[in-house]
Chains A and B, each alone.
Chain A
């Protein structure tokens, strides 16, 4: 097949193919006339329009065009709501299309329950969200709005001020809820809502302080409070001996907890508390030595992953009788090479696999691990950038899909290593190759005629994008 030089070439090739997915891939680079042809190809059959409206890869520009096409070509009594609903559900739908849906009289008169979809879509512009908060009465729609992470503090404030209580629970968990808003809701909230507010990153200090003073705080709230880094030293010490292990767990996770308290929590009766201590990045050597002997295997695992553990002690943990602890050592970025040497010969394949995936593992160990027969180990070898090219070339021909995929993921695999994978029997692999910088445009071009529609779409899209970038640079 001849290589294409211009955008027009690519668009005309897509039109000639009469394939809706190739057409969608080049829509963005097409001129007005070409776009008309492409729209004709993509939208004239309702089946195709429905597929594109829902498809996760349909570009925003195509969804916009489809949305306008439906609104333009239907009268008030006859709007194709199935297509519009799919467009509203599609995460790629641009904010313009969503605004147009919301404002369209044609669509509204159908009394379709579409507000919830627009209200929960993350691309809906703030202005529309605000208008929904102010004027709409559909409770389900407003609930969706109260969960939409694109809503800002002002939208949420309008909502809870207009209709109190109903949305408090959602707003208390909303990352954009402001301190003022949280204070307002706290005053009228139940223990659940209050606990959520105490745990919120924007919780005002005055609420934390008043909760700290309250000797009769419900357990739910106390558990949240224990994690707050603004607690006074006294409160932290007091809560570290609370009868409830979850409260103590909160203290064990709290970055403000004094070192002395952490040391005593290393002996806590609850394994969950000790596990939390073992995973802290400010672990003291005294605590490490105590926790090394912990009978709970998870405590030792957390320790084995901890960057604070000195290399000598990692060597000891590498001898643990439990394979998961040895694996955790092998995954620790500070694991010494001598320990990796040892673990590369471990009886457990899952431990050897950890060595194979470890970024530090040297070339000579990768050569050794390449002789393994386990899929997880070989996938790790295929993934690792220290693996010699010769071995990667062999693994690229493996009968196991997972191993071949490891080679595709490997940033160090060369073009020569990857070329045979362009013929891979699994379409996912051909799909993944399209984004590989090691391959050139000629290689990707081969995939434009792939039997799989997703591969064709991605290949066309990739080339279209490259042409767009090139023309912007010219």
Chain B
């Protein structure tokens, strides 16, 4: 029997959706029905998340009560170090998030665990655990194995695993935190990005516009189309720099990576390296561009050499009739 430990993540009194994706990843790693998935939740109000974490795939929720409500790398590192020593899991899954980046590497190193970050496939090949992650700036997929490691720690890319459906009644236990001196202090929580605007990193269907739209008034047509199609409208840098769409909608190196996106429709985007840095991992990319030599076509699954305004009109026709 082996144990797979998941570390739930919460921010501003709400569980982050990635916690449920980790549970699904952990469930997929069970080799037999005896294997157990444990979900650890750390915080001053950690018991408040038990109900929400009682979902299919979870065998036990471990509540670790800390003195601070927010994330603290020292507390997390010490708490998980003690928990891993005690429960001896074969795999530990953390979200690939800024929080985990604050302590995951140290934790893995201290406990001499196998370690891989930004993993989007985790599976057993025979008896061997293999993690797949991007390499060379996502240009190649790299398979990582962990010979002779009894415990492997991975940070999992958001959006890579589909959460399981349905509620469950896992065992709930408590685990005492070791005494730890925190070296940091939370002063204020500042939401990054465009304030009230949506978070494009969690959007699954994105329509993105580039300089091909020509003028600001044309942006409206695509906003309208995106709304009708149920897509989140994003853009390349020149569009955000001109103030035509909020900065929070910019995809790419100096914008955001659309981690959860499954379908990306690029309209009049040339596909610069910097833009592609934020979206080239998307499994289905549809590109519309009048220039057959546009770089975006090198990564598109479906390429349409056409005027975006013709396609916009046709899509509107199709969607409105």
Contact = CB atoms under 8 A, between A and B. Distances in A.
B33 interface: no
Interface residues of A, number: 48
Interface stretch (A177-185, A374-382, A455-463): A374-382
A301 B243 contact: no
B321 A302 contact: no
Contacts of A374: 194-195
B254 interface: yes
A150 to B, nearest CB: 11
Interface in B208-232: 216-217, 220, 223-224
A76 B70 CA distance: 68
B196 interface: yes
Contact of A376 (B247, B290, B317): B247
A298 B224 contact: yes
B241 A409 contact: yes
A302 B220 contact: yes
A426 B274 CA distance: 13
B306 A173 contact: yes
B321 A353 contact: no
B180 interface: no
B127 interface: no
A271 B227 CA distance: 14
B293 A89 contact: yes
Nearest to A349: B195
Interface in A330-378: 331, 348-350, 353-354, 356-357, 374-376
30 contacts: A121-B293, A122-B293, A147-B305, A223-B317, A245-B320, A271-B320, A298-B220, A298-B224, A301-B220, A324-B223, A328-B220, A348-B196, A349-B195, A350-B194, A350-B246, A354-B243, A357-B242, A357-B243, A374-B195, A375-B193, A375-B195, A376-B243, A376-B246, A379-B241, A379-B243, A380-B243, A383-B243, A401-B254, A402-B240, A409-B241
Interface of B: 193-197, 216-217, 220, 223-224, 240-243, 246-248, 254, 272, 290, 292-293, 305-306, 316-317, 320-321
Interface of A: 56, 89, 91, 120-122, 144, 147-149, 173, 223, 244-246, 249, 270-272, 275, 279, 298, 301-302, 305, 324, 328, 331, 348-350, 353-354, 356-357, 374-376, 379-380, 383, 401-402, 405-406, 409, 426, 428
Given A270-B320, A376-B246, A379-B247, 17 more contacts: A120-B292, A147-B292, A173-B306, A246-B317, A305-B220, A324-B223, A349-B194, A350-B194, A353-B243, A357-B243, A374-B194, A374-B195, A379-B241, A379-B243, A401-B254, A402-B240, A406-B241
